[in-house]
Amino acid sequence: QMQRDYEKLSFISGSLQKDSQQKQKAIEMLFQSLGKLQKEKADEQDVLAAMDMKADKSALGSKVDCSLFEDNIEQLDERMQELQSQISGQKQHWNKVQQQFSDAMEEKLDRLELKAF
């Protein structure tokens, strides 16, 4: 029975580890994307200064729909918040499963305890 329990726990542990590695890769990809976006984003003051120097603001207003831009930025922000909450939820789930695994292992008798029993 203990051998079967051990094999079952080993299989579950392996599955959890693979799942954790996949999630870690996804998190790393998200951080890389975020870093790339932060590097490429334009400084607001620089953009405003460039607009004053190079473009007529009325002409620029006719070419860029500010409300559409703001809507897209809001959608992007909402999506980033959803992703952050999903990552947080996955981390909480992983911690819960690790705790359950740890609790299950604590309840098992080791060989010395079993021998005395």
- What are 44's two structure tokens? 């607001």
What does the pLDDT look like over 30-48, one tens digit per residue? Answer: 999 888 877 776 566 677 7
Crossing angle between the packed helical segments 66-107 and 2-40, to the nearest 10 degrees: 160
Mean pLDDT score, 7-19: 91
Q: What are the residue ranges spanned by the domains of the chain?
A: 1-63, 65-116
Q: What pLDDT sits at residue 117?
A: 61
What does the pLDDT look like over 74-94, one tens digit per residue? Answer: 999 999 999 988 888 888 888
**Coil, helix or strand at residue 2:** helix
Distance CA 13, CA 11 (A): 5
